[in-house]
Structure 1
Amino acid sequence: MRLADEGDRAAVERLVQDAYTPWIEVIGMRPLPLEADYAALIAARRVHVTDRLDRLDGLIVLVPEDGVLLVENVAVRPELHGRGIGRGLMDYAEQEARRLGLPALRLYTNVRMAANIALYESLGYAETGREGIEGRSAVLMRKQLDLP
């Protein structure tokens, strides 16, 4: 894993487009990651990508907050689903939270993204509520970490 740089922006945007476009039909609108400003996120050092020379297989957007690390976006190339890349990205998020001394992670996902909710639950995330975020119904989830 490495931080994305400006030279990665087109590949990051393409990966997000490929990963989230299939969800438009499921949720009835564009998922929030399709609306994000990746130039700004890359400049802010929030986008972490898989470190391959020929292509990006996955990415995760991490935002440190007060006492928690926000997992804002996880994207994996659709043809690579089921190979553990998403789980690896989530493991990386936990490592980053620990490195930053943050005792918890949080995320949100659309209520209609049932497969994602099930994945997060299998990784130890618990639902903490539901709310509207920019016109979308979101499930809020959190995971506490054991810090040394």
Structure 2
Amino acid sequence: MSSNNIQPRKAVLEDSEALVSCIDAAYAKYSNRISEMPSVSEGITEDITHNQVWVAVEADEIIACLVLIKEDGFMKLANLAVHPSHSGKGIGRKLMALSEREAKRQGYNEMRLNTHVDMPENVQLYEYLGWEEVSRIKSTVSMKKRLGL
């Protein structure tokens, strides 16, 4: 199924367990690459309560998510995870586009994110989508994207 059939919706607290499973599955491929990998699904309940969490659902299953955090002067893309059994369908790109629309709708003209040096394919994808690398501090790659309002 293509991403065209998948309509993202805001997450609700009842999604927490399924979100943790989806996020953990999405990041599992990096666990052998990144020794100091943090628990990227930790705090998802707090994110749903205090931030903006979107989910992509197919056949009543959460297959991807997006976490946005309002910061002073920019919107932070805190997490984007697509379940590995659904990668390559354009779902991540659809959620990236949603993040930019939401940031603009809420009055932001800049987005920022952090990724890991041992995730070079993510850095390349973000650059392809118009993000620019701002800094590398230890293992963290910080990126930003200016949005036209």
TM-score (norm 2): 0.90
Range that drifts further, 101-110 or 40-49? 40-49
Q: Provide the rounded CA distance (Å) in 2 between the counterparts of 1:139 and 1:6.
A: 30
Q: Provide the rounded CA distance (Å) in 2 between the counterparts of 1:32 and 1:84.
A: 25
Detail structure 1 runs of 4+ shifted over 3 Å in the superposition: none
- 1:37 and 1:76, CA in 2 relative to 1: closer, same or farther beyond 3 A? same
Q: Please, what is the CA RMSD of the aligned residues? A: 1.3
Deviations 1:57-114 (A, max 9, x none): 2100000111211000000010111111111110000000111010011001000101
The aligned residue for residue 99 of structure 1 is 105
Q: State how 1:110-129 maps to structure 2 within 5 Å.
A: 110-129=116-135
The aligned residue for residue 30 of structure 2 is 23
Among 77, 83, 91, the residue aligned to 2:89: 83
Deviations 1:9-38 (A, max 9, x none): 11000001101122111112324514x311
The aligned residue for residue 59 of structure 1 is 65
Q: Provide the rounded CA distance (Å) in 1 between the counterparts of 2:142 and 2:88.
A: 24
Range that drifts further, 63-72 or 39-48? 39-48
Q: 2:46 aligned with 1:11, yes or no? A: no
Amino acid of the structure 2 residue aligned with 1:145 = L
**Secondary structure at the counterpart of residue 25 of structure 1:** coil
Deviation at 1:53, TM superposition (A): 4.9
The aligned residue for residue 146 of structure 1 is 148
Return 5+ residue gaps in structure 1 as ranges. Answer: none
Return 5+ residue gaps in structure 2 as ranges. Answer: 1-7
**Secondary structure at the counterpart of residue 22 of structure 1:** helix
Q: Provide the rounded CA distance (Å) in 2 between the counterparts of 1:66 and 1:32.
A: 25
Amino acid of the structure 1 residue aligned with 2:83 = R
Q: Provide the rounded CA distance (Å) in 2 between the counterparts of 1:42 and 1:97.
A: 17
- Give percent identity, aligned residues only: 37
Q: Provide the rounded CA distance (Å) in 2 between the counterparts of 1:38 and 1:44.
A: 10
Q: Provide the rounded CA distance (Å) in 2 between the counterparts of 1:27 and 1:51.
A: 28
Residue correspondences, number: 142
